[in-house]
Structure 1
Amino acid sequence: MNFLDRLNTNQRAAAQWDVGPLFVLAGPGSGKTATLTARVARLVEQGQDESFRILCLTFTRKAAAEMRERLLALVPDAKDRVLLTTFHSFATDILRQHGSHFGLSPDFEILEEAERVGIVKSVLEEKAGEFTKFVSAEKALTAIEFLLRNVTPDDKVPTLLKDAEAGQQLQTLFVRYKELLRQQNCLDYGAILYFCEELLRERPRVSKQLRTVYRYICVDEFQVTNAAQYRMLRAIAPDKDANVFIVGDDDQVIYQWNGASPRRVKELEQHYDLTTIQLPENYRCPPEVVDLANALIVHNGERSPDKRPLLSMKAGTGANPIELLSLDDDQQEARGIAKRVAARLQSWRASTGHRDPGARHQALGAGAAGAGSAVGSKSRAAAQIAV
């Protein structure tokens, strides 16, 4: 297991964790994927003569693919011992095997956006005179998505709105939408998690079977999970001393639009008898950036109270790489960013002697052109302004 030698002290302590619930509080650039992969690889190597399997759940297919590639590089025979997948894929598999309890056939279809809107429109048209508060199918679907990702019971729906009439109409709409999904043997992404959680909760034999197969459960990017995903985890691993290995960071809750919440970590601590190992080392950013990040994030009122500040493991730049711009609106912001990028490209050309940044781009690959400039945004709409 020489791969453990490449880990730092905190990473190694997490990778060598054996049984019971562990929360790895991993800051950005802390090597969390390497740590999680090493832990899974160690379990596989140590349990070569046993038949248990390991379940690793993450948020995106890309993350699952990256972890799978790393794991197989460490332990090539881990392929048949470890299921690396997303919450949605795992829930889909469960429903294809056990969805008959809800009247679903194994070949159910997953709806596209237009098809979902079409179902909502059909519900609104069924009782056109009743849904006076929901005339837009798109807006009604937004409300349904909220109810699904928060696993809202039917009888609780009316209490969510101050307008009692709107609450009753939303309840009727929600119930009918789910009925049509079952009747038409189709699900949307929110309904996949919703029905899977309901199945695991109401059919304990199914969750017990999963616990028999998967002795260890790992979850990456826990801070982005919504209520449905968290309750799926709770249904699979209900015991306070369950073998759950959970990696997350309550300072990186960036998917609140999808139901993520910094309170999720607190819920985790309340349910499981957790031990916490922190990974404060940052291998990605120079000290100047890390120091600024520490100074800002300390004002996050919902972070873990005993969280250690990030520690940069990179050498300093010898200059201040941070520039603060104060601009009036998004258009000025876009122009200001473009101006700074152009200045960096010009500086790069002067320092390297290159006149054509495209040649550099072709030589080093996409993303390596010029001064290595990239512009991040919270949404595609915001990115369009900058483009």
Structure 2
Amino acid sequence: MPEQESEKQREQLNEKQLEVVNELENNILLIASAGTGKTNTLAYRIAHIIEEKKAEGKEIACLTFTNKACSEMKARVMDVVGEAANDVTIKTFHGFCYEIIRQESKHRDIGISADSIIYDEEDCLEIIKNVPEMTDMAAQTGWAGAIQKIIALVKEYRGEYDYFSGEPSDDYQRVIDRLLTENGQRFSDASRVNWKSCTDLIMEFQNRGGLLVSAYDNALRMAHGMDFCDLINIAYELLKNPEVQVAWSSYFKYWCIDEVQDTSRLEYSVLERLFGQNNVIMCGDFFQTIYEWRGSQPDLIFDRFYGEYQPRLVVFNKNYRSTRILLDSSYYYLKKRFPDKVTNFFPDDALAMSDNEGERIVHATFRDTYIEADWIYNTLQRLKPQDLSKVCILTRSNVYNKRLSNCFSKIMETRQRNQMLQKGVFDDFPLEFMLVDEFHFFRRQEIKDVLAVFNMLVNEWDDTSICRVAKEYAKGIGARTIDKLQSEEAVALGIRPSDMVHPSTLKYDEPFEMLRRELERGNVVVFDVESTGLDTSRDEIIQIAAIRIDRTGKVLDKLNLFLKATKSVGQSVNTHHITDEQLQ
């Protein structure tokens, strides 16, 4: 975007938004709720950084905590900054951790393959069901889900307790022992089966939990996979290495962290190692946090950042999205509920800038669910039929959802019967509704089968998906054959189910036959490259190296070439130790 045009558009920002855009020297703690123009302001700030030549686009990183917010930020930065936005790193926090792990796995042995993919909860649940050490446990009704929750809890607290001795099974057992002593209720909650804590399951983890969690990790690694806890823990462990920490913190000059209220203590520890001496703006809304149940600690994070980085506090108090009634009501509630915090964060009251007064909020109290459902039913009947699709009823639990839906069904049946008896006509229009949680689309058998096929295409190491497809659709392959391929004997021999669909197996009946033949001929070449940076989509290769070996591993020939690059090696020199001067 031309500089004059950018300045003209910046004039439309309010005083506090301009303060954030123009403050490029000091750190900033920005308190901004939804509708206050935060995303727009951050986009103009990035444009200003580039215009003032404070940093290039590639030296600016913007991290957020949800895919939706990340997409919105990318679109707005592209709109405001223009072509230079292609160089700005805009990722989710987990996505950035994944990038650290992927890049570092190329340069050091961390037990993670560079082509590893992120497994979601459903994928991880399938892994648990197929880990030999847990197969019998997971087969018991309700246990698999509880095992998954316990594993996630243990891995989360491994990072919290900073237990990284190099022996994961020992670290996990230490975490379990400490959790049971200091925070037994969380462990008990995670072990719930059919709404009750499962004492037998707790005992299993108390006795051999370290081995169980390690076995799960090993199964994930065999499938070239990581779960969401791995992303944070492994990135944190890597950044404890001074060489890695310096390389990544030196690569970026400006950091923007959004939705900071959803940050856990461990996630903030990862961020701190990335900040270094760079300029940081942390954005969030203390009152918007929804993840305290999974470890977010807004009080702690705000206090730590404020104490350690002495940021300039900026509060966006003008809301351009909310109606006046909605903003005034919510702000009034916050002042009553959190008086001290509102005073600290909002020296000036929140203001609704919209001309729309909005509809009045109705508050009603009922003795039981049936009366409440009847009131909701009558309220909806007063709407136009075409407006019903815009109605959403939120409750605190799925149990209450089902109870409410049962009441709706009874009310409709009773109304229809009574009105038909009175005059033979049903005046109410049918109130069709659905429970959102009732249709677990991705848990349906056929959907999981289709996804397994796609997983096989994307990740050739995904043994879980390969076994699923084989059991369901491959003739002559049953559970016994799959069990043999996943047995301890097969693992000890280096055999895995994915070998059975390898192109070499299909051609030679043996996955390593081509490798064996070429080793005999002395035609196996081990190849490696070094590049100018940490992003393969923008890097330039500066070194090509290779060795040719025979069947015993003896080196038969070597190759080592250097190439001049059109861009500087920058901070990647800390990894490969090849300087721009050497290349010239």
TM-score range, shorter chain: 0.7 to 0.9
In the alignment, structure 1 residue 375 sits paired with structure 2 residue 392: yes
The answer to whether 1:21 aligns with 2:27 is yes
Go from structure 1 to structure 2 and tell me whether the alpha carbon gap of 1:160 and 1:50 turns closer, same or farther (over 3 Å shift). closer
Matched, 1:159 2:199: no
SS of structure 1 residue aligned to 2:29: strand
Equivalent residue number for residue 269 of structure 1: 306
Determine whether 1:250 maps to 2:290. Answer: no
SS at match of 2:23: coil
Please give the alpha-carbon distance, in whole angstroms, between the structure 2 residues aligned to 1:148 and 1:228.
11
User: Is 1:137 aligned to 2:174, yes or no?
Assistant: no
1:212 is the counterpart of 2:245: no
CA separation of 1:174 and 1:305: change in aligned 2, threshold 3 A: farther
Aligned to 1:120: 128
Task: For 2:280 and 2:22, locate their aligned partners in 1 and report how far apart those are by CA, in whole Å.
Answer: 14
Whole-Å separation in 1 of the counterparts to 2:371 and 2:273: 49
- What is the 5 A alignment of 1:1-387? 1-47=7-53, 50=56, 53-99=59-105, 100-123=108-131, 125=133, 136-150=143-157, 151-152=159-160, 153=163, 154=171, 155-162=174-181, 166-167=205-206, 169-201=208-240, 203-239=241-277, 242-263=278-299, 264-298=301-335, 299-300=337-338, 303=341, 306-308=344-346, 309-315=349-355, 317=357, 321-328=360-367, 333=372, 336-345=375-384, 357=386, 370=387, 373-375=390-392, 377=394, 381=398, 385=405, 387=434
> Is there any run of 5+ residues in structure 1 with no aligned partner, and where?
347-356, 358-369
Deviation at 1:3, TM superposition (A): 2.5
1:63-85 superposed Cα distances (whole Å, 9 cap, x missing partner) = 22222221122221223331111
Shift of 1:161: 1.4
Contact 2:102 2:115 in 1 (8 A): yes
CA distance in 1, matches of 2:242, 2:401: 46
Secondary structure of the residue that 2:338 maps to in structure 1?
coil
Aligned partners of 1:137 and 1:234: how far apart in 2?
Answer: 36
Q: Tell me the amino acid that sits aligned with residue 250 of structure 2.
A: T
CA distance in 1, matches of 2:93, 2:146: 26
Equivalents in 1 of 2:233, 2:286: separation in Å? 24
Contact 1:149/1:226 (8 A) holds in 2: no
Query: Quick one: distance in 2 between partners of 1:44 and 1:210?
Result: 20
- The C-alpha deviation readout for 1:164-195, integer Å capped at 9, x for no partner, is 96545444433443344334431112212221
Describe the shift of the 1:172–1:307 C-alpha distance in structure 2 as closer, same or farther (beyond 3 A). Answer: same
TM-score (norm 1): 0.80
Identify if the C-alpha distance between structure 1 residues 28 and 48 changes in structure 2 by more than 3 Å, giving closer, same or farther. closer
**CA distance in structure 2 between the partners assigned to 1:70 and 1:377 by the alignment:** 31
Between the two proteins, what is the percent identity of the paired residues?
Answer: 25
| Aligned counterpart, 2:443 | none
Which runs of at least 4 in structure 1 moved beyond 6 Å after TM superposition? none
Question: Shift in Å at residue 25 of structure 1?
Answer: 0.7
Q: Is the 8 A contact 1:56 1:217 kept in 2?
A: yes
Instruction: Give distance in 2, aligned partners of 1:172 and 1:195.
Output: 19
In the superposition, relative to structure 1, how do residues 189 and 231 fare at CA in structure 2: closer, same or farther (>3 Å)?
A: same
1:325 deviation in Å?
Answer: 2.2
- Equivalents in 1 of 2:283, 2:239: separation in Å? 23
- The CA deviation at 1:124 is 6.9
Instruction: Give the Cα separation in 1 of the matches to 2:380 and 2:362.
Output: 12
Task: Tell which structure's C-alpha radius of gyration is larger.
Answer: 2
Do the aligned partners of 2:250 and 2:276 also contact (CA within 8 Å) in 1? no
TM-aligned CA deviation for residue 245 of structure 1: 0.9
Structure 1 residues 257 and 329, CA, compared in 2 at 3 Å: closer, same or farther?
A: farther
Change in CA separation of 1:373 and 1:113 when aligned onto 2, cut-off 3 Å: closer
Q: One-letter code of the match for 2:298?
A: P
Superposition RMSD in Å:
3.4
More deviation in 138-147 or 255-264? 255-264
Please state whether the residue corresponding to 1:244 is helix, strand or coil.
strand
- Residue ranges of structure 2 left out of the alignment (5+ in a row): 1-6, 164-170, 185-201, 406-432, 435-584
**In structure 1, what is the Cα distance between the partners aligned to 2:51 and 2:43?**
12
Distance 1:254-1:178 versus aligned 2 partners, 3 A rule:
same
Look up the SS of the partner of 1:6 in the other structure. coil
Which gives a bigger RCO, structure 1 or 2 (Cα 8 Å, sep 6+)?
1
CA contact (8 A) 1:57 1:219 kept: yes
Deviations 1:195-232 (A, max 9, x none): 1121112x222232222221111111111223343222
8 Å Cα contact 1:251/1:300 also seen in 2 = no
Q: 1:210-264, CA deviations, whole angstroms, 9 ceiling, x for partnerless residues?
A: 222211111111112233432221121145xx41111101100012333323333
Mapped partners of 1:212, 1:25: distance in 2? 27
Q: Does the 8 Å contact 1:26/1:279 carry over to 2? A: yes
Contact 2:10 2:44 in 1 (8 A): yes
CA shift, 1:47, in A, is: 1.7
Structure 2 vs 1, CA of residues 372 and 22 (structure 1 numbering), >3 Å: closer, same or farther? Answer: farther
Is residue 250–residue 304 contact of structure 1 (8 Å, CA) maintained in 2? no
Aligned counterparts of 2:375 and 2:24: Cα–Cα separation in 1: 51
TM-score (norm 2): 0.55
Distance 1:285 1:40, change over 3 A: same
Q: Post-superposition shift, 1:300?
A: 3.2
Letter in 1 for 2:90: L
- Counterpart CA distance in 1 for 2:388 and 2:321 is 17
